[in-house]
Structure 1
Amino acid sequence: MSLPIIEIIHGKAIDAVTADPWNKAIVGPALDIVGNAPGSLKIYRGLQTEEPKHLYVYVAWTELQAHKNFQADPVNYPEVGKRVGSFMVSDRDMFHVEPSADPYKALNAPVTELALLTPRPGYTKENVAEKVKTLVESPHSLQEDLGLISAFWGPVVEKENTLALIVGWKSVEAQRGIFAVPQVAALLKACSEVAELQVTLASLLEYP
């Protein structure tokens, strides 16, 4: 079975969303259209932990071409853009991640971490990929008692030199506590030595 591709769109949300992020009346008019598009599999949305005014929407598509076909829809795609713009008002960004493994456990977790990694000077994307793969596949990282539920990684389609690591956690405290585990801390340090990291956390809920 082939893996889906994950679209991630994020940006600053209006106050009505930050006050009631699960209110379907606000996001529903846009997400209903996306959910009915051919090739759309699942949708998740939620607010960033560090910046609660920042909204993330994850869409799983059967393949990248399915989303491109939707973007070419002369009626529905402009309408979605207008409706998304009504609740995600600034600092918007959108990209796709090609996952290395099933993404749904990480996206269904109570807390989902998104780490974007770009090579430091003197290193390549392949160097970064090697370290990330070692981290994700390490038996130390995958111990359930550490609070890690699932993880996957993969290249970012629109950002040639960027990899994404997406991790599902039982809690924010579990994610922060992982640095106290010596074996995992060493693997994380190895990643940070070859890559610059941008890390955010969000609590996602599947739509609808």
Structure 2
Amino acid sequence: MPGSVVPMAPEIIWFTPSNEYLADPDRMLGSINKTTAAYGMTAAYYGFHTEEQRTGVWVLAWQTLAHHQHFMEEEVYAEAMLPVMEAMVGAGHMTQALLHHRHDLMRALSSPVTQFIYITVRPRHDRGYELVPLIEKVRKELKSVPGCFGSSWGPSVEKDDVQVGVIGWRCIQDCSNAVKGQLSSNVKLIRELGHVELKWATMNRHEL
């Protein structure tokens, strides 16, 4: 990964939507973005889990982690979080990641279907030494995979044993074909190193 480029710090939030949110997701996001855009949130996407339609997802793309941390220290933070709470039933599950290749991230989130990958390194394995080089190989391979529009990868902010990936696809079948074919050897090695959780969604961009 390019060390000289400051990565984006998107929050990926999976949650059970409230009826108010389902009625007008854009309005709810508009209330959030009215405040956050001035503090460095550069894009916001929303969608629903492909296989669990009662599960919503947001991707709130912060310019950098420092921008988000600064926002959380401001007085307006609590007010900005009220629409978030109103949009959810119960607690959501949030992962913030440091993702490189910004253009590829935006392409992935704008694709017909977006794949979210969470890899938790197994005990006695090293994320940086073992897992990251394999992921970089996969990222490069994906550039020539039919139906892949872009991928962005990086570490979780909260958990030092988790690596996160966001990949854009033409369809889920294209991904399945790639995993069984061109990507098979490296995917097998990654699964030996860690537990892999996959989620799918069709995302919509909310205009800030």
Instruction: From the superposition, tell whether residues 40 and 27 of structure 1 become closer, same or farther in structure 2 (CA, over 3 Å).
Output: closer
TM-score by length of 2: 0.86
C-alpha root-mean-square deviation of aligned residues, in Å?
Answer: 2.0
Residue 197 of structure 1: how far off its partner (Å): 0.8
Aligned position for 1:184: 183
Pick aligned residue for 1:137 from 112, 137, 140: 140
Aligned position for 1:104: 106
TM-score by length of 1: 0.86
Q: Which amino acid aligns with 2:70?
A: N
Residue 95 of structure 1: how far off its partner (Å): 2.8
Structure 1 residues without counterparts, runs of 5 or longer: none
SS for the counterpart of 1:99 is coil
Pairs within 5 Å for 1:18-33: 18=22, 23-33=25-35
Q: Which amino acid aligns with 1:150?
A: G
Q: Which amino acid aligns with 1:114?
A: F
Residue 84 of structure 1: how far off its partner (Å): 0.9
Structure 2 residues without counterparts, runs of 5 or longer: none
Name the structure where strand makes up a greater proportion of residues: 1
Aligned position for 2:121: 119
Q: Which amino acid aligns with 2:30?
A: G
For 1:111 and 1:33, locate their aligned partners in 2 and report how far apart those are by CA, in whole Å: 29
For 2:74 and 2:55, locate their aligned partners in 1 and report how far apart those are by CA, in whole Å: 28
For 2:175 and 2:28, locate their aligned partners in 1 and report how far apart those are by CA, in whole Å: 30
SS for the counterpart of 1:73 is coil
Aligned position for 1:194: 193
Aligned partners of 1:27 and 1:87 also within 8 Å: no
Residue 169 of structure 1: how far off its partner (Å): 0.7
Residue 175 of structure 1: how far off its partner (Å): 2.3
For 2:156 and 2:42, locate their aligned partners in 1 and report how far apart those are by CA, in whole Å: 19
Residue 37 of structure 1: how far off its partner (Å): 2.8
